[in-house]
Amino acid sequence: MHELSIALSIINLATKEAEKSNAARVSELELEIGEMAGVNIEALEFSMSIAMQNTILEGAKVRIVEIRSLAVCRDCKTRFSPVSMFDPCPRCYSHEIEFLRGRELRLKSLLIE
């Protein structure tokens, strides 16, 4: 379950950013996670709820925005939304695809007090 290590990294980053602004606590954080990022959202939410205890993020609302995948075929330039990392181009069936979005994992915003 790598979601716990992801949660700990997010908490570490959020804490550092909050401390830069002399915040006493973080009341909300927003994450953007691509559907191809390989993150189990439910496991991450659970890990975040446990790992935030006894930190300045304790009790903070965690909003997760899932980013739909978008890829382009390098051979025929067709844009499509793959369902898995290994989907071929629906037009020419090439596996030479480039992800334009959907692999993100970012801390988008913090609400601090």
> Which residue ranges make up the annotated binding site for Ni(2+)?
2
Extract the annotated binding site.
2, 73, 76, 89, 92
Give the strand pairing for 61-67 and 105-112.
unpaired
Residue positions forming the annotated binding site for Zn(2+): 73, 76, 89, 92
Helix H segments across 27-69? 41-51
Return the ∠ at Cα 38 (arms to 70 and 72), rounded to 5°: 20
